[in-house]
Amino acid sequence: MLVLSKDPYVSSAVIIFQRCSVLITEFVLIFAVHSLLLSLLGPTTRGNRALKSVALALFAFNFGLFIVDHMHFQYNGFLFGVLFISVAKVFQSNYLFAGFLFACLLNLKHIFLCLAPVYFVFILLHYCFQTVNDKCHFRFDRFLLMGLTVCSVFSISIGPWVYMGKFQSLLSRLFPFHRGLCHAYWAPNFWALYNTLDKLLDLSGKFPEYCMGKAVLSTTTAVEGNFVNMTSGLTGDYVHACLPTIRPLHTAIITLIFVLPSLLICKRCSNPSDADNPQVLGCILLRAVAAAAWAAFLFSWHVHEKAILMVTLPLLLLAVVSRKLRGLAFYVTTLAHFSLLPLIFTSAEQPAVLSTYLAFTVAQYSLLGRMSPLVYTGLLGRCWPVLSSLACVHLLGLLPFLVFVRVFLPLRYPAYQFLPLMLTSVYTAIGLFGAFLVYIYVNMQWTFARTEVQANDDQEFAEFVSLQEKKRN
């Protein structure tokens, strides 16, 4: 029987169990990635063996999973393994099992709820609608079968809570809207930029007629007592000083708007040869999953910084097979992993954490960079070289920025303990938000001009495989 106590429970047996269970369950992720690589690249040959090895290594030694799972004792590797197996089943045209696994995933961790619209639209368009003799027909039997499969999973998982009359209590714990717009350590998303702009406007003192938030905060705090200062490092609700105060409904609407491009990615292929091609459809789902997860991370309510893994891991898979996304994936992964560094704040672990971060960053750049030269055209046309240069400067600035927030600020301004965290969130959020817009642009181009764009990708990949064969011989 569990005994509740205000004192933390410390046990070496529990720590050993957590470490071992995280390591063991992460093999689900390795199996899932291997299954996806078989679908994406086909059976292992002399030409693609190196690429598969690189992909497996980048997942097995992923820095984000190292920080979040192996040091915080979470099980994201296992959860993403279930997600990727579900996607792999789409590559095998087993939509029913893919839907079943995704329903199980939602009940394992509700953070994946942001992917539900993508799965619903994708399965509806590509499984419940069938093309026969150039005519599209709705298959109600498939729709019913999929619905029964998903509902059965939720009935088994949530049914007992409904039966015991505890469903409302369950919802309040799954969706704690009273915790505020941002977590105690701001996730590097759009709201970190929004909060910072609000703080700068308030400190400037140039717009007193608009900055009435402090008066509202003092009144509301006295009455309800659940509001906190946004830069206090505490979890609670916010009242913005100058900008409009954001509420859960606002974030829900904005998130849905930015999830819409991921639903457009799922549209039925105009090319008949692609409409029933499992490899094409699987890639479409994977790209849509990354887009929806990215939008949810940037705009949802009370997002944790660890949720960035929902962006980096699918994007890393896409980067393995799409040369056009490799530079973008490296940029995003480097910023995302940098934003996770404050999670480990004790001085004893800093050498190990920083050296591991540097080693993984260099490995990803070296392994994927050597396999495909950087592509400066085809994404945003003439603007792409300028954006690439800005991205390089942004990444190179991480080193002096790290010294600034880890050494200078604590020594010069020791009282402002939240300032290094806020600046880290803002610095990385700028890049992650800009990269999201680029990613959406690329996918819209890929979706609505698919034949030309994908042909270029296919040709580049064929040239890469041919080059690897020549090197082997």
Task: Write down the domain spans for the chain.
Answer: 324-460
Q: Are 69 and 26 in contact (CB under 8 A)?
A: yes
Placement of tokens 């046990």 in the chain: 11
Residue 471 has pLDDT above 60, yes or no: no
Average pLDDT over residues 301-323: 92
85 vs 9: which has the higher pLDDT: 85
The continuous run of DSSP H or E covering 131 comes out as strand 129-132
DSSP 8-state class, residue 374: P
Sign of the alpha-carbon dihedral angle for 323, 324, 329, 330: positive
Q: Are 436 and 332 in contact (CB under 8 A)?
A: no
Hey, what are 18's tokens?
A: 């957590």
DSSP 8-state class, residue 132: E
Model pLDDT for residues 330-360, shown as the tens digit of each residue = 999 999 999 999 998 888 888 999 999 999 9
pLDDT-based confidence at 233, cuts 50/70/90?
low
* 182 strand-pairing partners: 303
Model pLDDT for residues 447-456, shown as the tens digit of each residue = 876 544 444 4
Residue 95 has pLDDT above 50, yes or no: yes
The candidate with the shortest Cα–Cα distance to 60, out of 25, 83, 29, 19, is: 29
User: Could you give the percent of the chain with pLDDT greater than 70?
Assistant: 84
* CA-atom Rg of the chain in angstroms: 23
Average pLDDT over residues 315-322: 89
| Rounded Cα–Cα distance for residues 334 and 339 (Å) | 9
User: How large is the greatest C-alpha to C-alpha distance in the chain, in angstroms?
Assistant: 77
The candidate with the shortest Cα–Cα distance to 317, out of 329, 305, 306, 327, is: 329
Instruction: Report the pLDDT value the prediction gives residue 213, as an integer from 0 to 100.
Output: 57
Hey, what are 355's tokens?
A: 């050296």
Instruction: Report the pLDDT value the prediction gives residue 286, as an integer from 0 to 100.
Output: 94
User: Could you give the percent of the chain with pLDDT greater than 90?
Assistant: 50
The candidate with the shortest Cα–Cα distance to 68, out of 109, 115, 98, 104, is: 109
The two beta strands, 135-138 and 129-132, are antiparallel
pLDDT-based confidence at 209, cuts 50/70/90?
low
Instruction: Report the pLDDT value the prediction gives residue 212, as an integer from 0 to 100.
Output: 64
pTM for this structure? 0.89
